[in-house]
Structure 1
Amino acid sequence: MARLAAMDTREAALLLKGVREAALRGGRSALAPRAEIGASWQRMLRGGLDPDRDRRSGLLAPGELERRRAASPLAELLPVLREGLVPGAAGSGAVRHIMVVADADGRVLWREGSAPVLRKADGHGFEPGADWAEATVGTNGVGTALVARRPVQVHSAEHFVATHHSWTCAGAPITDPRDGTLLGAVDVSGPLATMHPATLSLVGSVARLAEAELRNRHFADLGRLRAVAAPILCRVGGRALAVDGHGWLAGVTGMPPVDRVPLPASFGPGRVWLPALGMCEVEPLPGGWLLRVVDGEEAREAGAPGRVVLDVSRPRRWSLRVSGAAGSWTRELSPRHTELLYVLALHRGGRTAAELAYDVFGDRTRTVTVRAEMSRMRRTLAGVLEHRPYRFREEVEVEVVRPGDPADLLPHSTAPAVCASRGGHEPGDGRDSLGV
Structure 2
Amino acid sequence: MSIRQRHHLARAHEAALTGARPAVAPRRMIVQSWDRARQHGVDPDRGTDCRPVAADELEHRRVRCDLGGDALRELLSGLVPAAESAGAVVVVVDVEGRILWREGHPGAFRRADRLGFVEGACWLENAVGTNAIGTALVEGVALQVHSAEHFVRAHHAWTCAAAPVHDPRDGRLLGAVDVSGPADAVHPSTLALVRAVAGLTEARLRDAHRHQLDRLRAVAAPVLAKVGGQALAVDRDGWVAASTGLPPVDRIALPAAPSGQIWLPAFGTCAAEPLPEGVLLRLCDAAPRTTTRVVLDVRRSNQPVLTVHRESGSWTYRTSRRHADLLLELATHRAGRTAADLSTALFDDPTRTITVRAEMSRLRKKFGDLLENRPYRFLPDLEVSVLQPET
Alignment-derived partner of residue 84 in structure 2: 90
Deviations 1:104-127 (A, max 9, x none): 011111111112211211111111
AA in 2 matched with 1:399: V
SS of the residue 1:31 aligns to? coil
Alignment-derived partner of residue 399 in structure 1: 386
Gaps of 5+ in 2: none
SS of the residue 1:201 aligns to? helix
Alignment-derived partner of residue 283 in structure 1: 273
The Cα of 1:278 is off from its aligned counterpart by: 2.0
When residues 335 and 248 of structure 1 are mapped into structure 2, their CA distance, relative to the original with a 3 A threshold, is farther
Q: Within 5 Å, which residues of 2 pair with 1:304-383?
A: 304-306=291-293, 308-311=295-298, 313=300, 319-331=305-317, 338-347=324-333, 350-353=334-337, 357-361=340-344, 363=350, 380-381=369-370
CA distance in 1, matches of 2:258, 2:43: 46
The Cα of 1:100 is off from its aligned counterpart by: 0.6
The Cα of 1:386 is off from its aligned counterpart by: 12
AA in 1 matched with 2:387: V
SS of the residue 1:111 aligns to? strand
SS of the residue 1:246 aligns to? coil
**2:243 is the alignment partner of 1:260:** no
AA in 2 matched with 1:61: A
CA distance in 1, matches of 2:79, 2:366: 36
Q: Conserved in 1, the CA contact under 8 Å of 2:47 and 2:127? A: no
SS of the residue 1:380 aligns to? coil
CA distance in 1, matches of 2:221, 2:228: 13
When residues 369 and 123 of structure 1 are mapped into structure 2, their CA distance, relative to the original with a 3 A threshold, is closer
**2:27 is the alignment partner of 1:41:** no
What is the alpha-carbon root mean square deviation over aligned residues?
A: 3.2
Q: Conserved in 1, the CA contact under 8 Å of 2:253 and 2:368? A: no
When residues 391 and 85 of structure 1 are mapped into structure 2, their CA distance, relative to the original with a 3 A threshold, is closer
When residues 387 and 208 of structure 1 are mapped into structure 2, their CA distance, relative to the original with a 3 A threshold, is closer
Quick check: 110-119 or 40-49, which moved more? 40-49
Alignment-derived partner of residue 293 in structure 1: 283
Q: Conserved in 1, the CA contact under 8 Å of 2:65 and 2:94? A: yes
The Cα of 1:387 is off from its aligned counterpart by: 11
Q: Conserved in 2, the CA contact under 8 Å of 1:344 and 1:392? A: no
Q: Within 5 Å, which residues of 2 pair with 1:19-418?
A: 19-76=12-69, 77-91=71-85, 96-264=87-255, 266-298=256-288, 300-301=289-290, 304-306=291-293, 308-311=295-298, 313=300, 319-331=305-317, 338-347=324-333, 350-353=334-337, 357-361=340-344, 363=350, 380-381=369-370, 396=383, 398-400=385-387
AA in 2 matched with 1:285: L
Deviations 1:339-389 (A, max 9, x none): 332013345xx33446x742444549x8x979x97988885128xx99999
When residues 114 and 391 of structure 1 are mapped into structure 2, their CA distance, relative to the original with a 3 A threshold, is closer
The count of residues paired between Structure 1 and Structure 2 equals 381
Gaps of 5+ in 1: 407-436
The Cα of 1:194 is off from its aligned counterpart by: 1.2
When residues 288 and 305 of structure 1 are mapped into structure 2, their CA distance, relative to the original with a 3 A threshold, is same
Deviations 1:96-150 (A, max 9, x none): 0100110001111111111221121111111111111111110011101100100
CA distance in 2, matches of 1:205, 1:341: 28
When residues 44 and 393 of structure 1 are mapped into structure 2, their CA distance, relative to the original with a 3 A threshold, is same
When residues 164 and 390 of structure 1 are mapped into structure 2, their CA distance, relative to the original with a 3 A threshold, is closer
Q: Conserved in 1, the CA contact under 8 Å of 2:171 and 2:366? A: no
CA distance in 2, matches of 1:117, 1:395: 54
Q: Conserved in 2, the CA contact under 8 Å of 1:44 and 1:135? A: yes
SS of the residue 2:132 aligns to? coil
When residues 112 and 163 of structure 1 are mapped into structure 2, their CA distance, relative to the original with a 3 A threshold, is same
Q: Conserved in 2, the CA contact under 8 Å of 1:52 and 1:163? A: yes
Q: Conserved in 1, the CA contact under 8 Å of 2:330 and 2:376? A: no
SS of the residue 2:67 aligns to? helix
Quick check: 214-223 or 14-23, which moved more? 14-23
CA distance in 2, matches of 1:326, 1:381: 18
When residues 170 and 118 of structure 1 are mapped into structure 2, their CA distance, relative to the original with a 3 A threshold, is same
Alignment-derived partner of residue 422 in structure 1: none
Deviations 1:166-201 (A, max 9, x none): 111111100000110100010000112111111111
Q: Conserved in 1, the CA contact under 8 Å of 2:370 and 2:378? A: no
Deviations 1:55-93 (A, max 9, x none): 2312212221111100111012121111111001122xx
> Please, what TM-score do these two structures have when normalized by structure 1?
0.79
CA distance in 1, matches of 2:188, 2:62: 31
When residues 16 and 378 of structure 1 are mapped into structure 2, their CA distance, relative to the original with a 3 A threshold, is closer
AA in 1 matched with 2:206: R
Deviations 1:289-327 (A, max 9, x none): 1111222254x24xx334523458465x75421122211
When residues 341 and 312 of structure 1 are mapped into structure 2, their CA distance, relative to the original with a 3 A threshold, is farther
Question: Higher relative contact order by CA 8 Å / sep ≥ 6: 1 or 2?
Answer: 1
Deviations 1:5-40 (A, max 9, x none): xx25xx543332111112222222221111211111
SS of the residue 2:233 aligns to? strand
CA distance in 1, matches of 2:40, 2:26: 19
